[in-house]
Amino acid sequence: MNKINLKNLTLNDFPLKTFDKIRYRDTDRQGHVNNAVFTTFLETGRAEFFYNPKRPMSSPGGSFVIANITLDLLAEINWPGAVDIGTAILNVGKSSIHLVQGIFYNGEIAGTAETVIVHINDETRRPQPLSEETRSILHNFLLQK
């Protein structure tokens, strides 16, 4: 797969979109949203994707864990307001999923992340293959760039 320049993505490039409210407590001494809160925004996008009760992704006795996350902070975010979060799949492996996400503030990209999620067996805590049904669902959310 060719390397995608995440900074060029727009919210419309992502098949899954959600939002999060910026809270006053999210700010730091400089008055902008603390960098750690960016990961909370990303979690909102991931949680709505993986744990949607109408479309569960994990197999019975399985769950998802983060194996790797790379976050690029591109712009400041300020309170008050909201951010939009886009989520897409870059690649689906046997038991892993490579995600890309964008955080947008006032329509501009403020952060990007690539995350590798692994489906594990809750009992053994070892990777567990994704079901064919889950793989099929995931392919509907591939990034189309």
d(CA 95, CA 130): 5
pLDDT of residue 94: 96
pLDDT of residue 51: 86
Domains of the chain and CATH, by start: 9-139 (3.10.129.10)
Per-residue burial over 42-51, b if 16 or more Cβ lie within 10 Å, else e, is bebbbebbbe
**pLDDT value, residue 5:** 85
In single-letter form, the type of residue at position 37 comes to V
Distances (CA, A) of 95 to 33, 54, 116: 34, 22, 10
pLDDT value, residue 53: 83
Rounded Cα distance between 119 and 134, Å, is 11
E strand map for the chain? 16-22, 62-73, 81-92, 96-105, 108-121
Q: Determine the pLDDT at residue 1.
A: 42
Report pLDDT for 18: 96
Angle of CA points 129, 135, 139, to nearest 5°: 145
The pLDDT of residue 58 is: 81
pTM for the structure as a whole: 0.92
- Residues of the chain with pLDDT below 70 are 1-3, 145
